[in-house]
Each structure stands twice: as structure tokens, then as C-alpha cells.
Amino acid sequence: RSLDADALRTHAAAALTRSRARSEVLTGAVDDEELSKQHSPLMSPLVWDLAHIGSQEELWLVRDVGGREPVRPEIDELYDAFKHARADRPGLPLLSPAEARAYVGQVRRKAFDVLDTVPLRGRRLTEAGFAFGMITQHEQQHDETMLATHQLRTGEAVLHAPDPPARRTGPLPAEVVVPGGSFLMGTSAEPWALDNERPAHPVHVGTFAIDTFPVTNAEFAAFADSGGYRQERWWTAEGWAHVQRHGLIAPRFWRREGGRWWRRRFGIDEPVPADEPVQHVCFHEAQAYARWVGKRLPTEPEWEKAARFDPATGHSRRYPWGEQEPGPEHANLGQRHLRPAVAGAYPAGASALGVHQLVGDVWEWTSSDFRPYPGFAAFPYQEYSEVFFGPGYRMLRGGSFGTDAAAVRGSFRNWDLPVRRQIFAGFRCARDVAGPDGGN
Ligand code: AVJ
Ligand code: FE
């Protein structure tokens, strides 16, 4: 057994332990009744997420990688996300909270046993510990979903965390111009990158300008206050129909009272903070705001080039700030805080081109739909990405304060329906500027 393999095992074990600690916080903060009920038809009961986390871990780590006997084969169907819509999950004969906790614990003990013994090379699923990385990312993704469920629940605050840094870098230009030319999008090198991030491939992007920071609450409030939600000209036909039908007047969780905007955030009412990135807006609201300021949303390749391209070397970085794993100085990730940080709070996390807060704080809507990269191959299962390809979904990039560092990187791709607002999503704007197209 090589030292490398030992380091990999330690790294995978630490990542799995961290994701489980977070799942325990999210499911330990409320009583059994709140765990089992549905807080919104958009979401599963928390206890479904918990057992589903165990079920995926059983399928991939215990049965497939480990070749072990099934732990609870009779519940596979209950926790198959494609068999039951979220709205229907509370009516299923789910494991009770106590049973779900016992189940995920039992599966985890077996998964650790597999991690101790299985070769981490020779088979693509286990090469460099991929399956373990995939499962810990899966748990973290559901943890972020559970955090969104917490934001939707009513009642007293049960989650607590310190506020993010309020210090900020001095005034900066509002936009950064990204010179036209080709850059390497996606990755073939990142060991735990998921199928839709692969392979690395050159993409030509024309010269454009992108906002230095995500759009703030104050900026977005100006759009709402000036009547933006009532003026058809800012909206696409689809967006306008949606706004009319649902009577949208502001981001989700905002409320107008005493001449100002308030919001409810994880059980606490507070005035909407002016300098924080706006969140809980859908793609249509982002698109309308961008048009109102005379801009547009960035495309997904534009977003990734702004985040990863280093003009000094011509290479694409793993993260905006370079190759290092995210630290607390780089980005607001991992539910360390329960809110996005003010614009300018992470100067050490800026990209080579000088764009700030691309990773962390809020997911950012782009104008692109979900397409495979040239050379895409579904791995290890079609239901992770491939079944979602097409015009129905919009891409989100960069992760939020509720995304763990293990589950985001410069190449990471997320997607959702253009009407969704319960996710921790905001946006920044871009626009065309004249410039050389950079050749190649
Ligand atoms: C990539 C976040 C869109 O939560 O629907 C979780 C991740 N896939 N279980 C989702 C996922 C299967 C997925 N997103
Ligand atoms: Fe899942």
C-alpha cells in the first residue's frame, strides 16, 4: 500500500466525516415531527434526505465498490429520487428518524471498512477514490438542499452561526473586461470532478465585461422599487408570464413593512441588508434586472473564463484564486455562516482577472442551458447529469454560503429550473464590449 493511497484514504475519510457531521447538525436541530413533515411542496421531508443519503452510499460504496451484501434492499425504491416526486414523499412509508439514523450509521461503518481495504486504482470508479468523493459530494449537495428546507420552515431559529467578515476591499471598478480568445473550460485532471465537468476543452469567448461583484440587495431593490416587476419590457415572454401568474413583486422571503424591505432568514426577521448579494431570485428575475440596467447575464463559458482564466499563463485555474483548496480567507462556503458576505469581503478570493466572490456567497445564474461538453460520457450513472440535458434547465455556477468546499470548484456545474427561488441563488451581470477577439 503506497503512501499516496494512505493519504487518499485519510482525505476521503475526513471528507466523509465532515459531510456526516453537517447532516447531523441539519437533522439534529429539529424534533422528529419537524423532521418527518413537509415544510414546502418543493422539498422532501428532512428525514427522506437523510435516508436517501444512506441509500446512495449503500448502493455505490457498500454494494458496488465493496461488493458487500445489501444492507436494506427493500428500501431502495423508496429513496430513488426518480420514483417519487418531492411533493409525494411525505406520504411514503419512510424510515422513522430513529430508523434513518441507525441506517445511515450502519451504512457508514461498512463504507469505512470498504475504504480501508479496496484498491484505489485499477477501476475507474475507485481511481483516486472517486466513488468516495462522489458520495461525500452527494451528501453535501443534500445538506445544502436540507439547508434550503430550513430556510423554508416556519418557527423559531434553530441554526446558528457567526456572521461572515464585514471588512471589505477598497473601491474597485464596477466591471472587469475579459479579453477575447480561447480558454480551457472543464477539467480532465480534477480527480473528484463529476461527469458533466469533463473533459477539458478549448472554448472561444469574445471580449466581454463582467461585474466585479454579485448584484446586491440595494441594487435589486432599486429595480423592484422602480416598478420593474410591473413593466413587461424587462422580461422575456416566459418570465413575464411567470411573474404575472404568481404575482411576484420581490425576491422570495422579502416583505415590505414600514417603508422598507424586511426578510425572514432562518427564522429571524431583519431588514434586508443593502450590501449583501441578493439571493432567492429566480432566473427570470435575474434576467429582467440585467436588462433593466442595460446588461445581460453571462453565459456559462463567460462565467468560467472570468473565474479560471489566468492571462499571465494562459491556463485555467482550479479556483479563482489559484490551485489551493478553499480556505476561510478565500470564500464564504460550507455553512460557516448563514448568509452571504457583503460585496468585497473576500479580496483573497478574487480571480486572476480581478473578479470577486465568484465562488461562495450565492450561486450565480447564467444564461446557458444544460449541455454536455464535447466528449461527455455519463459516469457512473445517467441520472446524475445526462437525463437533465436540454433547454429546460439553466446553469448556476460558483456555489453559495451553503455549499461545502468539497462540492464546488471552478469547473463545477449546477442547474435548476428557471423559476426556482428557494435555492441560495443570485447573479451578476455582463455585457458585450468592443475588443479584439483574441484570435485562436
Ligand atoms: C446537481 C444540485 C442539481 O440536488 O438535484 C443530488 C444534485 N443529484 N442527488 C440535485 C443531486 C442527485 C442535484 N443538483
Ligand atoms: Fe440525491
pLDDT of residue 252 exceeding 80, the answer is yes
Q: Mark out the alpha helices in 293-339 (DSSP H runs).
A: 300-308
SS3 162: coil
Q: Mark out the alpha helices in 76-225 (DSSP H runs).
A: 97-117, 130-152, 217-225
pLDDT tens-place string over residues 100-133: 999 999 999 999 999 999 999 989 999 999 999 9
The pLDDT score that the predictor gives to residue 423 is 98
Judge whether 263 and 270 are in contact, CB under 8 Å.
yes
- The residue-averaged pLDDT of 186-190 equals 97
Confidence of residue 438 (pLDDT cuts 50, 70, 90): low
SS3 179: coil
134 CA to centre of ligand 2 in angstroms: 11
pLDDT of residue 149 exceeding 80, the answer is yes
Q: Which residue has the cell 432599486?
A: 222
Ligand 1 pocket, CB under 6 A:
138, 141-142, 145, 384, 414-415
287 CA to centre of ligand 1 in angstroms: 23
Q: How far apart are CA 50 and CA 407, in angstroms?
A: 17
pLDDT tens-place string over residues 393-428: 999 999 999 999 999 999 999 999 999 999 999 999
Q: How far apart are CA 183 and CA 367, in angstroms?
A: 19
| pLDDT-above-90 percentage for the chain | 96
DSSP class of residue 309 equals: B
146 CA to centre of ligand 2 in angstroms: 11
- Residue of the CA atom closest to atom 7 of ligand 1: 141
397's enclosing H/E stretch is strand 390-397
Q: How far apart are CA 99 and CA 89, in angstroms?
A: 17
Average pLDDT, whole number, for the chain?
Answer: 97
Query: From the CA of 50, which ligand is nearest?
Result: 2
- The DSSP bridge pattern shows strands 201-205 and 181-185 to be antiparallel
Task: Report the binding-site residues.
Answer: 52, 86-89, 138, 142, 416, 420
* pTM of the complete model beyond 0.95: yes
189 φ/ψ sector (left φ>0, alpha ψ -120 to 50, else beta): alpha
Q: Rounded to an integer, what is the distance from CA 419 to the centroid of its chain? A: 16
Confidence of residue 2 (pLDDT cuts 50, 70, 90): low
Task: Report the binding-site residues for Fe cation.
Answer: 52, 138, 142
Judge whether 215 and 228 are in contact, CB under 8 Å.
no
pLDDT tens-place string over residues 54-69: 999 999 999 999 999 9
Q: How far apart are CA 34 and CA 32, in angstroms?
A: 5
277 CA to centre of ligand 2 in angstroms: 28
- The one-letter amino acid at 265: R
The pLDDT score that the predictor gives to residue 170 is 83
- Residue of the CA atom closest to atom 13 of ligand 1: 141
Residue 140's nearest CA partner among 192, 93, 205 is 192
Q: Rounded to an integer, what is the distance from CA 155 to the centroid of its chain? A: 26
> Residue 174 CB: number of other CB atoms within 10 A?
10
Counting DSSP H helices and E strands in the chain, the numbers are: 9, 12
Q: Angle CA(196)–CA(118)–CA(59) in degrees, nearest 5?
A: 55
**Grid cell in block for residue 34:** 419537524
Confidence of residue 168 (pLDDT cuts 50, 70, 90): confident
- Residue of the CA atom closest to atom 8 of ligand 1: 384
Query: From the CA of 381, which ligand is nearest?
Result: 1
- The residue-averaged pLDDT of 366-382 equals 98
| pLDDT-above-70 percentage for the chain | 99
DSSP class of residue 214 equals: P
